[in-house]
Amino acid sequence: MVEKGKSGHLDNVFSQKVNAGKRRTYFFDVKETQGEDFYVTITESTRRSDGNGYNRHKIFLYKEDFNRFQEGLDNAINHIKTELLPDYDYEEFDRKHEEWEKENKDNESHEDGETSTDSFSPDSADEMEW
Average pLDDT over residues 16-34: 92
Per-residue pLDDT, 78: 97
Q: Is the pLDDT of residue 107 over 90?
A: no
Q: Is the pLDDT of residue 123 over 80?
A: no
Report the topology of domain 1-64: Nuclear Transport Factor 2; Chain: A, (3.10.450)
Per-residue pLDDT, 43: 98
Per-residue pLDDT, 27: 97
Per-residue pLDDT, 113: 45
pLDDT digits (tens, 9 = 90+) for 33-52: 988 899 999 999 999 999 89
Domain spans of the chain, in order of start = 1-64
| Residue 59: band (very low, low, confident or very high) from pLDDT cuts 50, 70, 90 | very high
Per-residue pLDDT, 26: 97
Per-residue pLDDT, 102: 84
SS3 121: coil
45: enclosing H helix or E strand: strand 38-47
| Residue 10: band (very low, low, confident or very high) from pLDDT cuts 50, 70, 90 | low
Model confidence, pTM? 0.67
Per-residue pLDDT, 9: 56
SS3 1: coil
Render 83-120 in DSSP notation, one character per residue.
Answer: II-TTS-TTHHHHHHHHHHHHHHHHHHHHHSS------
Residues 6+ apart with CB under 8 A from 47: 22, 23, 24, 53, 54, 123
